[in-house]
């Protein structure tokens, strides 16, 4: 491939030689894992976090993707840290710090002394306190080091035929809750099921933000009119999950809308 961004990544990976990829199943870590396999052959492993606040479909997607690449893949169980039970503003830092300590231990057990993360250049534009933990623990960030944007990721992944190339950006279910709101398994399950129902209706870029008993739905702007047209069915389905109020966010789908509290 003649793509300069692709060449930069391959050269970076070839200079390292082996490692374990923190693999969520999304576009960024999917591209990183595929290129690491190509550059390193069998000297790579995928490590996927399994936590109460991770959507089950994301775990299933990660398992299927890694199997398709033929790389070694391990699921790392990770319980909810007590420090995150009230969804503090520094949640992302606390989570990244704890989970990457687990991934480093898992990587060492498999014989790898390096863990790679899929942070890309565009991630620096958002409120990302977890990046501090990545840096503190010495996690390597090839996409960031090579100045790879999200558009670069999707373009390269599409050219390589990776199924994840247009997968919507995802994040853990805690990002659907306001800072300071107590996290319960029932709230996480409601969020996951509500988003699953909307995805099944064809709203492929969607967030359901939960404010107590109120669900604030974000969909792509071009899909807002269709959601309003289907409002009766959507409201009925979401109220059946125990949500008292269902609203449409007129600003539409956007990353990190809960982070506005932290600005």
Residue 219: is its pLDDT beyond 50?
Answer: yes
The neighbour count for residue 104, using CB atoms within 10 Å, is 20
Q: Using pLDDT thresholds of 50, 70 and 90, give the confidence band for residue 168.
A: confident
- Is there a contact between 226 and 258 (Cβ–Cβ < 8 Å)? no
Distance between CA atoms of 104 and 27, rounded to whole angstroms?
A: 22
- Name the 3-class secondary structure at 114: coil
8-state DSSP, 134: H
The tokens for 131 are: 């990046």
Q: Which residues of 73-85 are buried (b: 16+ CB within 10 A; e: fewer)?
A: bbebebebeeebe
pLDDT digits (tens, 9 = 90+) for 108-133: 999 999 999 999 999 888 777 888 99
CA atoms within 13 A on the CB side of 43: 11
Give me the pLDDT at residue 69, please: 96
Alpha helices in 149-206 (DSSP H): 150-159, 185-200
The neighbour count for residue 187, using CB atoms within 10 Å, is 21
* Beta pairing, strands 206-211 & 44-50: unpaired
- Is there a contact between 30 and 67 (Cβ–Cβ < 8 Å)? no
pTM above 0.75, yes or no: yes
3-state DSSP: the chain helix, strand, coil percent, rounded to 5? 50, 15, 35
- Is there a contact between 182 and 87 (Cβ–Cβ < 8 Å)? yes
pLDDT digits (tens, 9 = 90+) for 8-58: 999 999 999 999 999 999 999 999 999 999 999 989 999 999 999 999 999
Q: Which residues have C-beta within 8 Å of that of residue 228, sequence separation ≥ 6?
A: 248
Q: Using pLDDT thresholds of 50, 70 and 90, give the confidence band for residue 83.
A: confident
Q: Which residues have C-beta within 8 Å of that of residue 69, sequence separation ≥ 6?
A: 33, 34, 37
Residue 262: is its pLDDT beyond 70?
Answer: no
Phi, psi angle pair for 258, to nearest 5°? -70, -20
Distance between CA atoms of 30 and 168, rounded to whole angstroms?
A: 13
User: What size, in residues, is the chain?
Assistant: 263
Q: Which residues have C-beta within 8 Å of that of residue 9, sequence separation ≥ 6?
A: 35, 142, 143, 146, 148, 156
């Amino acid at each position: 491939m003649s793509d300069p961004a692709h060449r930069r990544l391959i050269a970076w990976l070839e200079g390292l030689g082996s490692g374990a990829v923190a693999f969520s199943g999304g576009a960024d870590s999917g591209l990183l894992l595929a290129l690491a396999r190509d550059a390193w052959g069998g000297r790579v492993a995928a490590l996927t976090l399994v936590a109460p606040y991770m959507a089950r479909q994301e775990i299933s997607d990660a398992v299927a993707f890694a199997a398709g690449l033929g790389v070694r893949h391990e699921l790392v169980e990770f319980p909810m840290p007590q420090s995150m039970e009230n969804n503090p503003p520094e949640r992302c830092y606390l989570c990244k710090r704890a989970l990457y300590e687990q991934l480093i231990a898992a990587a060492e057990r498999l014989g790898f002394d390096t863990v790679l993360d899929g942070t890309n250049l565009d991630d620096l534009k958002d409120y990302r306190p977890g990046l501090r933990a990545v840096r503190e623990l010495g996690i390597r960030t090839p996409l960031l080091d090579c100045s790879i944007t999200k558009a670069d990721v999707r373009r390269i992944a599409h050219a390589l035929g990776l199924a994840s190339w247009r997968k919507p950006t995802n994040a853990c279910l805690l990002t659907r809750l306001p800072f300071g709101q107590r996290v319960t398994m029932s709230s996480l399950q409601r969020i996951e099921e509500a988003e699953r129902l909307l995805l099944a209706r064809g709203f492929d870029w969607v967030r359901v933000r939960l404010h107590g008993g109120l669900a604030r739905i974000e969909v792509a702007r071009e899909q807002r009119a269709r959601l309003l047209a289907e409002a009766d069915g959507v409201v009925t389905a979401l109220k059946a999950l125990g949500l008292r109020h269902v609203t449409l966010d007129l600003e539409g789908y956007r990353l990190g809308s809960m982070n506005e509290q932290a600005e």
